Amino acid sequence: MTGSLALFVGVFTPIVSAPIVGSLNYFQNGRGDGVIILLLAVVGLIASMVKAYKLLLLSGIASLALLLFTFFNLQYAISQIQSQFEKDLAGSPFRGLGEIALRSVQIQWGWAVLHFGAVLLIVAGVARPKT
C-alpha cells in the first residue's frame, strides 16, 4: 500500500527543473506518462487490498520499467540538446549564457519517490506472506 501511495504522490513531485519553465512533474497536466503511473498505482493499491500478489508484482515491474524508460530518454534528450547547442553556438558571443542555462537543467527529487514506490510494489509482490 505504501508503494502505491509513493507512486501516486511521486507523479506530482518535481522530476526536472529548467530555466524559464521551472519545475516539471511526471503528470504534466494529464499529458505525460504520469497518467499511466497513476493507473498502475491504483492497480497496485487494489491488488494489495485483495492480496493479488502477482498483479502487485506486475504493476510494480510495469511502473519501474516505464520510469526507467522515461528517465533514460530524458537523460539522452538532455545530452542531445547539449551536443546540438555546442554545434549551433560555436563562436557565438552568447554561448556562455546558453551554457549556464543548460547546466541549470537538473533532475529533481521526484524520481527518488517514484522509484521507491515502484520498488516497494515489487518487493511486496515478491515477499508475499506464507500460507
The sign of the CA dihedral 69, 75, 78, 83 is: negative
Between 13-22, 84-93, 101-110, the lowest mean confidence (pLDDT) is in: 84-93
Biggest CA–CA distance in the chain, Å, is 70
Residue from 60, 54, 81 nearest 4 by CA: 60
Has residue 101 been placed in a domain? no
Give Cα 17 distance to the centre of its chain: 13
Phi/psi at 68 (5° precision)? -65, -40
Has residue 122 been placed in a domain? yes
Residue from 83, 117, 113, 77 nearest 98 by CA: 83
For residue 48, name the pLDDT band (cuts at 50, 70, 90). Answer: very high
Those residues with Cβ within 8 angstroms of residue 87's Cβ, 6 or more apart along the chain or in another chain = none
Q: How many domains does the chain have?
A: 1
β-partners of residue 17 are 23, 106
Q: What is the mean pLDDT of residues 92-114?
A: 80
Q: How far apart are CA 125 and CA 121, in angstroms?
A: 6
Has residue 82 been placed in a domain? no
Q: What is the pLDDT of residue 106?
A: 83
Q: What is the mean pLDDT of residues 112-122?
A: 96
Has residue 30 been placed in a domain? yes
Q: What is the mean pLDDT of residues 57-67?
A: 96
* Residue 33 Cα distances to 42, 88, 102, angstroms: 15, 31, 24
Q: What is the pLDDT of residue 21?
A: 79
Has residue 80 been placed in a domain? no
Has residue 33 been placed in a domain? yes
Has residue 45 been placed in a domain? yes
Phi/psi at 107 (5° precision)? -75, 135
Domain boundaries, position 24: 2-71+106-126
Q: DSSP secondary-structure letter at 105?
A: -
